[in-house]
Structure 1
């Protein structure tokens, strides 16, 4: 199976706190797309480090805003499970099968959806597969595709680095890693973005991704190669076809969205600060320092789905009930005043951010993503002479969904 079937929705609320739905803040909806930071600040003032919220479709959840509370949740899977089959609102039939949250929260036979020994078995296969993939020329693939994309606009003198570069480069590299034809890259990039964006199209695009990946796994089972898909199929852990496809989906969606989003934010930092730009071009500044700043200030996932309370407990001064859904505010946690009282102070050399989660479910492919970004920035700066932002920095805008905030565009000019 590709995901756990859901029960028919039943009447009733399912709210984790004793408030009416009208009293809770909606994290997704009209008016919230561009002011997530303001929402987090207000929630922190009103509720402290943990706040009751409504997700898309008025699904209740606890949003963890505090850094220390987030680490407690992420580091303790026995207390806060990743297994969505324990989600009380799902068990009691309050979550519709067509909910756009299901692609992000629904149970699947992958390592992210399970804890304990089941998680260790599957995570081991993923780690081994990604390790093998990272040794087979990730930087070479990134260099090839970066030059190919830049070549499509290098003679024009201007470009939108989001729509013409950052939205496609990571997916093109991932097609090589997974063993897909590069021609699938643009279609998969579009679908992966829309799965995280939510809305009525999320399930449709999730289905499109699953169809492509199922065909890939079936083909590689009879025609294996030196790719991540073949490595999963041949791994001693003995993954079945559903487990293989689910992990291909996990790596594709998580790897693509986090890398493309972080790449855009890194370039935004570089192009809105002449000192950073000149430092990188001259070699006096390392791109790792810029990535660290971006991972603290604008992590690629603003909100991480999801954890489920294994028993009644207290968190951030609130009583959380068994089966309640918790989502982790990674952006909010990274600017928690208790651990970062002055967000303007440099965080260079500090890697304790929440950008890649933490604990046993910490992102296994972060090194691959960072390698792609290093190459992408390096090739861009050395191919395009006189690269500069084409609009005032304050005109750059972002659009937020439940899970992320994406830079809308990054218009640049350069010498021909």
Structure 2
């Protein structure tokens, strides 16, 4: 195993220097080294998840599992958050979109959580696995056809493949028509990129989708949520859709990207199945790295440290999964014992579909481009410098260009050439027709749907 350089700077939790910052280029360059230093303080340690935003970060697998499985003492409703209620969290903090309350299953407890979660899990249970595989393969084929025909044997897989693929699949699952699907992608992508107004774009698009499904129900997740016996109102349906999008697309993109990089790396053992690569990603490179804020219902003691009631406690899924104390037991543990999908009553309800999408996406890439290779060694790839997710900044690859049949074109009226007969009389010019109103440029989902129709 390659020895990592030590983390430069003050030790975490040093009173003279404040809490350890879990963000920025220094953290992003080597998160695992930072987790090692935090473990020296015990199963949890105080960190700054964003400027002026302190949380207690749990790095121990056992402590994480205890908190995740103990909803009576650790609740999820962030309206309890002491610092936020006391005005100590900056209004423009990047932590607010991630930790602020929303009326969805993720931030609910007790009966409210049970009601919302049941609607989500029952709706997801109706997704046909074979159809999901076909949807993923079709999305993969479209994206691969696009970048393999437009580039001279090179691509950047995060932007060209791993990031857009889950968005296409989820739009299909939601039953989005083309124009609404385009705006859903613009909205959710903008939220992750910090684009102003992106949340409004997404909210308006999903509100239109819900209104459409009220009038014309379909065989899709949106309709199933709306028709569920829990009788969700339109606002609740919208927030569950946002949760599925935000909790599904970005982690899936990270898993697809890291899984592809891992299986194409020089250290990967030839012949191992793609499922092994995806499982290794979930263990060692948890796509949701630090999240799942819990709020103690009363003061609690964590290995001698007292955490006040309603002060946020975050789970480091990345650190818990790589806890050195697990090393001697890893062979006895189930391959699914990782915490990448959480645990307890708030465990990810879509973990099986998510695993299937990731495996299918990586397999499709390898099948379509059998000689694909990464242009940068795995150990030299860069990770985004954010605390919430473990995702590659870029994944440059090369491959043998594939010949792609041109898209069908409309029949055009033959034009006169130098060798073709010319009309005897030149017709008088006609007055120019009024210009047709310009249509907005088709977005990614519109282009995908047109491609599936052979247009």
Bin of the TM-score, shorter chain as denominator length: 0.7 to 0.9
CA gap of 1:190–1:295, structure 2 versus 1, over 3 A, is: farther
Partner of residue 255, structure 1 = 248
1:91 CA drift (Å):
2.6
Q: How many residues align?
A: 387
Say if 2:156 is the partner of 1:163: no
Partner of residue 337, structure 1 = 324
1:190 CA drift (Å):
6.1
Partner of residue 64, structure 2 = 70
Q: Deviations over 1:246-304 (max 9, x none)?
A: 1000001111011111111111110104654x41xxxxx33222211111110111101
1:23 CA drift (Å):
1.4
* 1:378 aligns with one of 363, 384, 398: 363
Q: 1:390-409 to 2 correspondence within 5 Å?
A: 390-409=375-394
1:114 CA drift (Å):
0.9
CA gap of 1:298–1:30, structure 2 versus 1, over 3 A, is: closer
8 A Cα contact 2:42 2:303, kept in partner: yes
Partner of residue 44, structure 2 = 50
Q: Deviations over 1:82-117 (max 9, x none)?
A: 111222222323234443222211112111111111
Q: 1:6-405 to 2 correspondence within 5 Å?
A: 22-29=17-24, 31-45=26-40, 47-134=41-128, 137-155=131-149, 156-181=152-177, 188-189=184-185, 191-192=187-188, 195-196=191-192, 201=194, 204-273=197-266, 275-276=268-269, 278-279=270-271, 285-340=272-327, 350-405=335-390
1:414 CA drift (Å):
1.8
SS in 1 for 2:291: strand
8 A Cα contact 1:192 1:257, kept in partner: no
CA gap of 1:132–1:399, structure 2 versus 1, over 3 A, is: same
8 A Cα contact 1:293 1:347, kept in partner: no
Partner of residue 6, structure 1 = none
Unaligned runs of 5+ in 1: 1-17, 280-284
8 A Cα contact 1:142 1:375, kept in partner: yes
SS in 2 for 1:77: coil
- Alignment RMSD: 2.5
8 A Cα contact 1:85 1:107, kept in partner: yes
SS in 2 for 1:360: helix
1:350 CA drift (Å):
2.0
- Greater shift, 24-33 or 319-328, is seen at 24-33
Partner of residue 12, structure 1 = none
Q: TM-score, normalised by structure 2?
A: 0.79
SS in 1 for 2:88: coil
